[in-house]
């Protein structure tokens, strides 16, 4: 009987600890952010006609009346640029890190030979002209380096449209929790495979199962739309009733399935809703 009591007590403690780790922020309305369709990296064509994260892609999205998702990171001289990858290889054909070049050097490059250059965040905001914005903060060289958050917020705080933020890095989301708690914030995640080059297998497990939510207490969970079987995602959505964003939706059929899976908002590309 004593052994059973001990086992029950241990189970209760473990369950309590788990719920503490994965619980998001106290539920609050994040309207209208949880009703938007967000054009992933702008309304781009996926090729050199209108490349992703270009001023042309953001202009198209704003003209179509869409909300926009974009990625920010720092140049070597601390300028906030809009660019997704850590390196310039895929989009600019140069095998160098974005943060190894100054903005003057980055501006001389073109996106997929389109004639479009890597824009500053301030330039993108001017083009968006108040369109709803979901700003993703990309990982710095150090997991705990939140310099980007402060630099980007100095630009975002004067934007005339609605802004919410997200990141795979819970420390970046935590920065907003501590310094700008009024801003709607979300954690990005998915099933991290063991061979993922961005994070170690251990950290990948923590992120997959949302066990770092205690650091950031996100208002919403942005999860890869194919990975809804993950238990922690279901706990956050079902038990804590956290709003959920689906990424990245690439067909109208996937959007329909995301709605059936009770996602509140979608981040899409490859079609016009």
pLDDT at site 3: 82
Q: Which DSSP letter does residue 198 get?
A: S
Tell me whether residue 26 is in a domain: no
28: in domain: no
Residue 131 counted as domain residue = yes
d(CA 91, CA 248): 19
Q: What is the torsional sign of CA 165, 24, 204, 269?
A: negative
Q: Which of these, 199, 201, 208, lies nearest to 234 by C-alpha position?
A: 208
* Position 7 in a domain: no
pLDDT tens track for 57-75: 999 999 999 999 999 999 9
| Residue 11 falls inside a structural domain | no
Counted domains in the chain:
1
Full residue range of the structural domain in which residue 230 is found: 33-86+118-268
Q: In this structure, are residues 249 and 266 in contact, taking their beta carbons and an 8 Å threshold?
A: yes
The answer as to whether 107 is a domain residue is no
Q: What are the tens digits of pLDDT across the range 111-149?
A: 999 999 999 999 999 999 999 999 999 987 788 999 999
Residue 167 inside a domain? The answer is: yes
* Angle at CA of residue 144, ends 142 and 147, nearest 5°: 85
Q: What is the CATH number of the domain that holds 256?
A: 3.20.20.190
Lowest mean pLDDT among 26-30, 177-181, 229-233: 26-30
Within a domain: 62: yes
């Amino acid at each position: 009987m004593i052994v059973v009591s001990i086992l029950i007590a241990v189970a209760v403690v473990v369950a309590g600890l788990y719920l503490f780790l994965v619980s998001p922020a106290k539920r609050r309305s994040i309207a209208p952010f949880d009703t938007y369709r967000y054009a992933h990296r702008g309304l781009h064509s996926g090729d050199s006609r209108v490349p992703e994260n270009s001023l042309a892609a953001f202009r198209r999205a704003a003209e179509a009346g869409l909300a926009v998702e974009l990625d920010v990171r720092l140049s070597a001289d601390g300028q906030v640029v809009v660019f997704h990858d850590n390196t310039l290889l895929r989009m600019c054909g140069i095998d160098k890190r974005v943060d190894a070049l100054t903005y003057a050097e980055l501006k001389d490059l073109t996106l997929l030979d389109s004639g479009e250059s890597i824009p500053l965040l301030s330039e993108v905001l001017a083009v968006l002209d108040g369109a709803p914005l979901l700003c993703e903060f990309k990982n710095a060289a150090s997991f705990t380096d939140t310099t980007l958050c402060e630099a980007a917020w100095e630009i975002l705080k004067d934007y005339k449209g609605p802004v919410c933020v997200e990141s795979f890095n819970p420390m970046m989301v935590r920065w907003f929790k501590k310094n700008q708690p009024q801003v709607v914030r979300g954690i990005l995640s998915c099933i991290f495979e063991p061979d993922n080059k961005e994070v170690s297998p251990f950290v990948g497990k923590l992120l997959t199962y949302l066990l770092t939510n205690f650091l950031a207490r996100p208002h919403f969970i942005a999860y890869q739309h194919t990975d809804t079987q993950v238990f922690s995602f279901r706990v956050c959505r079902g038990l804590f009733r956290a709003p959920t964003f689906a990424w990245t939706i690439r067909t109208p059929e996937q959007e329909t399935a995301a709605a059936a899976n009770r996602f509140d908002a979608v981040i899409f590309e490859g079609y016009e809703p």
